Amino acid sequence: MLVNLALRNELESLKEKMAKTSEEIKSKLDEREENMKNLKKQVENKTKCIEELQQEVNKLQLEIENMNKQHKEAVDIYQKDIETRKVNENKLHEEVEKMKLLYDEATMIQRETDTQCQHKITEMVALMEKHKNEYDKMVEEKNAELKIYKIRQQKQSSSERALENLIKEHSRNRSPESEKKHKSIVSEEEMFKKLYKDYPQASQLHPTAPKKTPAPSNVKSPGSALKLKTMRRMRDAGWTTVSKMDRKRKMKEVVKFFA
């Protein structure tokens, strides 16, 4: 625009000069004819220069229009990008808010879970302590029962050894005299009475023990032989019963201990 204005001003100046020149030519036609030609040439050159400048101006205008168009397109692109980023930013803000809510909810759930777990742990510890106390008490009871069982076993072993010693002594001291056999039979009766006293279950299996009768004068009499045979059967039956009872008691103790 400034160039056009300058050109226009220059053109106006040239026109004024041409007007003045025309007047001078008219007044001085002969003298200035040659100058007129030069001026015409100058005007032509100027006109040509103006045309060239006009072409450049047109070209610059096109470039400016193209630049304006490109600038507008770039502005539109940037505007769309800004709008898209705003939309994405809003979505991100919404996602952040959702994540905050989820985090708060998860934190609350975690706290509740921790509290419940703590209660459960406390209950389990208390239950374990209870079971431990019960187990310790049971172990103490089992140890006491085991001690009692060992004492009974020792008593049984002592009774067995005493019985074996009596049997051996009886077999060594066997004599044809009826008095010695009678004493041996009486000793076995007393021993089995003691055995039935220590183990009442054996007396229940053989409740009817033969009554003690006076020793006959003759050892080889049928009554004495029958009594001796009966005592031997009682002795065998008593020890069989004691062994069975002891084995059952052992099995019960083992089952109770591992229950």
Total of domains in the chain: 2
- Residue 16 domain-assigned? yes
User: Nearest Cα to 60, choosing from 9, 2, 10?
Assistant: 2
pLDDT of the residue at 141? 87
Residue 139 CA to residue 257 CA, distance in Å, equals: 8
- Residue 134 domain-assigned? no
Exposed, middle or buried by CB within 10 Å (0-12, 13-18, 19+), for 204? Answer: exposed
pLDDT of the residue at 217? 41
Longest dimension (CA), the chain: 212
Name the region of 257 (left: φ>0; alpha: ψ -120 to 50; beta: rest): alpha
- Residue 154 domain-assigned? no
Last residue of a domain, one of 62, 86, 110: 86
Residue 110 CA to residue 115 CA, distance in Å, equals: 8
Structure-token pair, residue 76:
């539109």
- Residue 153 domain-assigned? no
Contacts of 210 (CB under 8 A, 6+ apart): 227, 230, 231, 234
- Residue 113 domain-assigned? no
pLDDT of the residue at 202? 46
| pTM of the full structure | 0.29
Last residue of a domain, one of 32, 60, 86: 86
Residue 36 CA to residue 242 CA, distance in Å, equals: 167
Show the domain range for 203: 173-258
pLDDT of the residue at 109? 93
Last residue of a domain, one of 32, 61, 86: 86
Is-contact 197 225, C-beta < 8 A?
no
The tens-digit pLDDT sequence of the chain (259 residues) is 666 777 778 888 888 887 777 777 667 667 666 777 787 888 888 889 889 999 999 999 999 999 999 999 999 999 999 999 999 999 999 999 999 999 999 999 999 998 998 888 888 888 888 888 888 888 888 888 888 888 888 888 887 787 778 777 777 765 555 455 545 555 555 655 555 555 554 444 444 444 444 444 444 444 555 556 666 666 666 566 656 565 556 556 545 544 5
pLDDT of the residue at 89? 92
Structure-token pair, residue 188:
């076995």
Residue 187 CA to residue 165 CA, distance in Å, equals: 12
pLDDT of the residue at 208? 41
- Residue 142 domain-assigned? no
- Residue 79 domain-assigned? yes
pLDDT of the residue at 59? 92
- Residue 67 domain-assigned? yes
pLDDT of the residue at 233? 65
